[in-house]
Amino acid sequence: MWGGRFAAGPDAIMEAINASIGFDKRMASQDIAGSRAHAAMLAATGVISDNDAEAIREGLLTVLSEIEAGTFQFSTALEDIHMNVEARLKEIIGEPAGRLHTGRSRNDQVATDFKLWVRDQFDAAEAGLIALIRALLTQAEAGADWVMPGFTHLQTAQPVTWGHHMMAYVEMFGRDLSRVRDARKRMNESPLGAAALAGTSFPIDRHMTAEALGFDRPSANSLDAVSDRDFALEFLSTASISAMHLSRFAEELVIWSSAQFRFVALSDRFSTGSSIMPQKKNPDAAELIRAKIGRIFGANTALMMVMKGLPLAYSKDMQEDKEQVFDAADNWMLALAAMEGMVKDMTANRENLAAAAGSGFSTATDLADWLVRVLKVPFRDAHHVTGTLVAMAEKKGCDLPDLTLAEMQSVHAGITEDIFSVLGVDNSVNSRLSYGGTAPKRVREQIARWKEALA
């Protein structure tokens, strides 16, 4: 490829460190799509003949079919996917293959290929997130009025509904979906035609190739076009935040499916057994999601480190961008699919959820609110009264509703029988009618809003 300048070939070690074909062959279809668009544009602008463009087009389709069939012979000596494709194209069509690289460089070529690949992954992530959100909506709708404990510090806090808890994750993954769409839109500019760094003297039409490849427009600065990897960093950043959400949910599923909680039962399809303990049913899919997230976080940090010290425009360091993104994408898509499967298959134990909802003095805040609302007690005073009643119940070994009216009145004389109307968990959740609250009515409104948005 550069025999005119170099008298000798590379050392074997140099060839090993320089070659990227072992991983960038994943971009074969994107590379061929970019080359087809480039050849068609070169013909349309009169840079190459229509006959040469047609030969290139047909030859590239042959190369693609060989790659898809698994018969293509990749060569480390040819370094990367671009030169492997071009070398095979020359074997198939001869001289016209040498005209394909007119008006472009491997710098803009790889940036284009990589953008196309990442864009495809954003589309796959969007589909995966929508499928997961739909699974969560199904769970939320089924249990919109099922009571369960809400936690802070993993301690019982206030009663909520199963539907409300599921909808919390809908909101999380909904923000992930928004980030995916936002990043995809921002990245959708074509680097093709920026050449090595300065553009080209050939009369190319970059708008034509951008449109052919589904980009919104060509990138506006050739230096930036070949040195930009923000799109890959945004992909990894978006994947990292989404992966964090997946890990948080996975942690809850591990806890909830334990014998100590029994809030949910995970299906056999997403669980494993033990080689020695026959009773075990392990939430391995959730645990593996929780663990794989570290690889995505690591990829994000690794690419940041690669890019942080690079001057404009292209440096070979940027060859280290793809393996990080490929691995993160594989693990993100797998984690999304596994979580969707678990959510679709899992069964919530309504009885256990309800039993736990009333534990840990979960309606203490309702008691305090009643004192404020009915007796006009300042909230800080109501907080103190309620805390005293909790301590009394704890000492007796009972819950708040089990205290007698006389015992409550010994702490505050104004308390009446009406207090017992707010101490039940169902009464508690039904009263939380503020926008975004846990009341079943509000939960169903949010489910309807999300269904409409996805439709």
Residue of 153, 201, 275, 434 with catalytic role: 153
Closest CA to 296 of 270, 254, 333: 333
The CA–CA distances, whole Å, from 224 to 194, 315, 318 equal 9, 13, 13
Bridge partners of 151, per DSSP, are 156
Which run of H or of E encompasses 86? helix 81-93
* Residue 377, C-beta contacts closer than 8 angstroms, at least 6 positions apart: 371, 385, 412, 414
Catalytic site residue 274?
A: yes
Q: At 403, list the tokens.
A: 């205290």
Please state, in angstroms and rounded to a whole number, the distance separating the CA atoms of residues 119 and 354: 45
Please state, in angstroms and rounded to a whole number, the distance separating the CA atoms of residues 180 and 121: 10
Residue of 49, 75, 178, 274 with catalytic role: 274
Q: At 334, list the tokens.
A: 């797998």
What one-letter code names the amino acid at 189?
E
Closest CA to 118 of 52, 32, 187, 16: 187
Catalytic site residue 153?
A: yes
Overall size of the chain counted in residues = 455
Show the beta-strand stretches assigned E in 311-399. 347-348
If one counts every other C-beta atom within 10 angstroms of the C-beta of residue 253, the result is 23
Say whether 196 sits in a helix, a strand or coil: coil
The CA–CA distances, whole Å, from 452 to 134, 135, 176, 243, 278 equal 11, 15, 18, 26, 46
Q: Which residues are catalytic?
A: 153, 274
